Structure 1
Amino acid sequence: MLTSPFVMTLLAGQSTGLGGILAVLLRPTPRLLAVSMGFAGGIMLTVSLADLAPQAIAFYSAYLPPLACGAAVASILLAGICAAAFLSGALPDEADLAARCSGDASRAAVLRAALATGAALVLHNLPEGVLTLFAGASDPALGARTALAVALHNIPEGLALAAPLAYATGRRGRAAGAAFASGLAEPLGAILAWLLLREVLTPGLVNGTVVMVAGVMLWVSLAQLLPQALRGGAAGAAGAAAGCLTMLLGIAALP
């Protein structure tokens, strides 16, 4: 019964690796780094505010009056932002990372941003895998549309993780492997949810988790990706604009 939905979830998650492959094929220059980090920042910012948050508002509006609904979603977003800011303290500081980057402080900053991006993608992919699996189990057509939408926005996310890793470490193969590994969080999340949480996994809990993850992505976008991208000047700004526009087109084309 779950074979087809699980395969869709696995394929959607592993599309992150396609973005990682681009990091292997393309030479990791500062310009590519600025564009890719800007693009990822635009993607994360837009998917959080134009897709995940509005869906949650639509869901909670059936149970709460407008002001209370908005306050609830904003509070969950804020909790995700605060959690991301707190957990960033667990990442190695730039001085430690500089030692791994031959003393290059700029590469150390890029590596730290890449680590934060990877953590955000894993957190994002876990509930995304749950949504894809359960959508496919309830309605194969809905599951296919969900998997396609997830796959399309996972590709640039994979590039956004792999490109800075390749630039900072010079190891493009490992950077692509990290992109594939982050995509495994989707089928892993789906399996764990089905085995352990299906009895208590209510729509309200799923929506709340998704909004909290949107808060994590907001913080990573605003505090890590976009500042690093804008150091590259017009290239970073162009990447951010392209990410926003691409995600808006994807949201509109794949409701």
Structure 2
Amino acid sequence: MLSDSNFPIALLLTLIAGLSTGLGGVIVLFTRKFSTKTLSFALGFSAGVMLFISLTELFTEACSSLGSAFGDKTGMLYTVLAFFSGIALIALIDNVIPSNDNPHEYSAAPTPEGCLPEADSSRLMRLGLFSVIAIAIHNFPEGMATFVSAMENPQTGISIAAAVAIHNIPEGIMVAIPIYYATKKKGKAVGNAFLSGLAEPLGGVIGYLLLSNIFDKSLNGVVLAAVAGIMTYIALDELLPSAERFGHHHLSIIGVIAGMAVMAASIILI
């Protein structure tokens, strides 16, 4: 039973968790120069974050939710269908958004250190905006989960909000870095990072007002699996190719591993 007396603390916890995305964006304020090495590592790091969250947390949690609702075999089937539906959705968005250059055709030639051609800036801007969309979609159901949990039990809500906040900081980096390198405007990069995080409290309030009576395990599982598919597509189709394009293969791979390690540590420690 949800207690209305817990509404203020639930809203506060969800807001803090969401705004932590902006804290990741603040890192760009300390970036002194445009370095393709930094960019390769950061994009690889972001890909690692997305892949680890998608395949070890969201997918398995979706499978558990749908399995408990429909049985293990049918639950796995629905999880896989929702996962690839998420991939199809973001692939459709990718093809609908106009672009003068095909962002999927990457040159093997490295970009000179400290210099980003206009075509690269355009690709990075699209990548940043894609990341805003992906993180906002990802944060929406997270906001629902945090808010509803805090309404039921504030102590549980605090634990969930802390875990979500730790996850959101590197996601803010993922949003801010491409936009920063594309526009060279720190305020715009940080602003977009905070903007993507606002989906968290928005999702919490909407989830409470509209979905609290129907948001069961099966719907939760479908949403989580679809988000996992969306984030996997972004990591493999946009982030990793972009990291490789700047000519620092090993740094981008180290970034992927580092991103996964940070997410793994956050899960173990919380």
Quote the sequence identity (%): 34
Quote the residue 1:53 is aligned against: 59
TM-score by length of 2: 0.87
User: 1:249 aligns to what?
Assistant: 265
Deviation at residue 233 of structure 1 after TM alignment: 1.7
Counterpart position of 1:169: 183
Give the equivalent residue in structure 1 for 2:28: 23
Do structure 1's residue 83 and structure 2's residue 97 form an aligned pair?
Answer: no
1:158 partnered with 2:172: yes
Q: Which runs of structure 2 are paired with 1:227-238 in the superposition (5 Å)?
A: 227-231=241-245, 232-238=248-254
Residue 141 (str. 1) matches residue 155 (str. 2): yes
1:6 Cα offset (Å): 0.9
Greater Cα offset, 189-198 or 179-188 = 189-198
Distance in 1 between residues matched to 2:168 and 2:117, nearest whole Å: 32
Contact 1:60 1:69 in 2 (8 A): yes
The one-letter code sitting in structure 1 at the alignment partner of 2:244 is L
By how many angstroms is 1:43 displaced? Answer: 0.6
- CA–CA distance in structure 1, aligned partners of residues 162 and 215 of structure 2: 23
Aligned residues: 251
After superposing the two structures, state which structure 1 stretch, 26-35 or 41-50, moved more. Answer: 26-35
For the pair 1:70 / 2:76, whether they are aligned, the reply is yes
The structure with more radius of gyration: 2
1:117-151 Cα distance to aligned partner (Å, 9 max, x none): 11101110111100110111112221111101110
- Equivalence for 2:237: 223
C-alpha RMSD over aligned residues: 1.9
Distance in 1 between the 2:102 and 2:65 partners? 44
Q: Which moved further from structure 2: 175-184 or 227-236?
A: 227-236
Report the AA paired with residue 229 of structure 1.
A
Query: Any conservation in 2 of the 1:158–1:179 contact (CA below 8 Å)?
Result: yes
Residue pair 2:40, 2:244 contacting (<8 A) in 1 also: yes
Check whether the contact 1:38–1:240 (CA below 8 A) recurs between aligned residues.
yes
Do 2:61 and 2:224's aligned partners in 1 also have CA atoms closer than 8 Å? no
Counterpart amino acid of 1:245? Answer: A
